[in-house]
Structure 1
Amino acid sequence: MPLPPRVPLPAAFLRAPLAHRALHDRTARRPENSRAAVRAAVAAGYGIEIDVQLSADGRAMVFHDYALDRLTDRFGPVRQRRAAELGAIALRDGDEGIPTFREVLETVAGRVALLVEVKDQDGMLGPDVGPLEQAVADDLRGYAGLVAVMSFNPHSVAALARLAPAIPRGITTWGYPPDHAEGLPRATCDRLRAIPDYDRCGASFISHHWQDLGRPRVAELRAQGAAVLCWTIRAPAEEAAARRVAANITFEGYAPPIPPPIPSL
């Protein structure tokens, strides 16, 4: 069955820089992917990038890691705990628990652009996906704000195309160096490095690692009309280099300027 046609990425995703895991700052008690970090990004006028994982009871939770260890004082996989239990687990250096995706949508309330990375649930970027994508689609139903979805796993992007066909979708990409590929088979790295699934997924953008933006495939997709975002910028000099190719950046650790709005005619 063919996928729905690609949905263009709205211009708002190409204007204000996107705060990586929201505008987090542990010294200010705003952990990554926390509601406090989301509120801070909205107040500053930045777009927001967040990550979602699946709870034991099928809810989309805003959390980057597969395990709780780094970001909380608990241990073990996020997926083994129910949403209510996860919501009661305090994030390190913060005052709140792990939020659901729906809670973050309510916090953003359409005031800034929201880019949602759906974390791979297969473990090897393979086809064992569906429940998290369904949870994301369910939460997005009726949301009127600007939102786009992406994943490293092309199977996830294809599932999102079927479940939320009106939402812009993209692929999170990079060079897949073998020594940093988190145990992926070399054949998988070699395949995904070429970004072969862009058209198959009906994607309209990529978010590519900023140090690999010179890759010919990135230039090819850009020439074909793909919007090119990049991750993760941590200094003005990196931003200047990335913007030679990328239309927008995902950033953390500094405060990039926000271009003024385009005046209406």
Structure 2
Amino acid sequence: MDAMHAHRARLHQWLTAQPFAHRGLHDASHGIPENSLAAFRLAVEKNVGIEMDVMLTLDGDAVVFHDETTERLTGQPGTVARMTARRLENMTLLNSTQHIPTLHAALGEIAGRVPVLIEVKSDPQARRPLCSAVRRTLEGYRGPVAVMSFDPEVPRWFAAHAPAIARGMVMTTHGKSRYGLLLHHSWAQRWAARYAKAQFIAYDLKSLPSRFVQWARRQGLPVLTWTVRGEAAAALAHAHTDNIIFELTDEPETAPPV
């Protein structure tokens, strides 16, 4: 087996070995908000992978946060891109004692114990500085980790500037991409995956079944699907893809195994 095929086999193995908790194993009703150190700690305890979102701060750091603005998750108004990392770290997440973590703090908590998927939430202006911030933070990190994005320029950037970091595309056929790609057709999705130099795909559950997913798996690309909630969704996901990115439901009997 040559080096390229060996690398692809290792990537496929860790991307498909265990399910990934969407934004960590969070439960707001018990004071464990999404994308918090507590959610990541619980995922490690349950031995499931972790998916998280990162955004760029005013001072060029990467923080773990999903929204462009802070109000939904903190109750305080603000725009992440206009705030420093220190200011964001001092903000408390709603109904908890948790604070917004930097990517450095999150990886320090996880410490390579479970696989990590980092979704880069970029826009054209923030793309390069955010990719650079993520790359800097990952220097020396020991543990399975990959970056992914709806923006095909993100994995393409990592292919050029940090090829050792695994990279993937996030895709859906619902709604128009902010990057100008209306990926409702299999041919457009294939083009985007090739352009991005993607090594895996994270695909919207609502877009399954998919001819593109069938094509990607034939190419040897691992395909994960999001966001899986409940038994019926898990069955659909496992019928068409290689792994799931899940959230726990309120009913224990319908939750994906952890």
Q: Under a length normalisation based on structure 2, what TM-score does the superposition of the two structures give?
A: 0.89
Partner of 2:77: 75
Deviates more, 1:202-211 or 1:32-41: 202-211
Q: What is the match of residue 189 of structure 1?
A: 182
Residue from 48, 51, 73 that aligns with 1:49: 51
State the structure with bigger RCO (CA 8 A, min sep 6), 1 or 2: 1
Residue 71 of structure 2 aligns to a residue in which SS? coil
Alpha-carbon separation, structure 1, partners of 2:148 and 2:172: 13
Alignment of 1:92-131 (within 5 A): 92-122=94-124, 129-131=127-129
Higher helix fraction: Structure 1 or Structure 2?
A: 2
1:172-251 equivalences in 2 (<5 Å): 172-175=170-173, 177=174, 180-181=175-176, 184=178, 188-190=181-183, 194-195=188-189, 196-251=191-246
Match of 1:141? 139
Q: Unaligned regions of 5+ residues in structure 2, if any?
A: 250-254
1:31–1:37: 8 Å Cα contact kept in structure 2?
A: yes
Question: What is the TM-score when the length of structure 1 is the normalising length?
Answer: 0.87
In structure 2, do the counterparts of structure 1 residues 192 and 165 end up closer, same or farther at CA, with 3 Å as the change threshold? farther
Q: Distance in 2 between matches of 1:229 and 1:14?
A: 8
Residue 28 of structure 1 corresponds to 30
Aligned counterparts of 1:128 and 1:110: Cα–Cα separation in 2: 27
| Structure 1 portions without partners, runs of 5+ | 259-265
Once the two structures are TM-superposed, the CA of residue 188 in structure 1 deviates from its matched residue by 2.5
Q: 1:216–1:45: structure 2 CA closer, same or farther, 3 Å change rule? A: same
Question: 2:71 and 2:95 mapped to 1: Cα distance?
Answer: 14
Share of identical aligned residues, percent?
39
* Distance in 2, Cα, partners of 1:116 & 1:214: 25
**Contact 1:53–1:60 at 8 Å: present in 2 too?**
yes
C-alpha distance after superposition, 1:176-195 (max 9, x if no partner): x3xx437x48x631478622
> Alpha-carbon deviations, 1:128-154, whole Å to 9, x = none?
620000000000000011101100000
Structure 1: distance between partners of 2:126 and 2:159: 16
Q: Which runs of structure 2 are paired with 1:5-20 in the superposition (5 Å)?
A: 8=8, 9-20=11-22
Q: 2:97 & 2:106 partners in 1: Cα distance?
A: 16
Other structure's SS at 1:49 match: strand
Query: For the residues of structure 1 that align with 2:123 and 2:232, how far apart are their CA atoms?
Result: 34
Corresponding residue number in structure 2 for 1:261:
none
Residue identity opposite 1:152 in structure 2? F
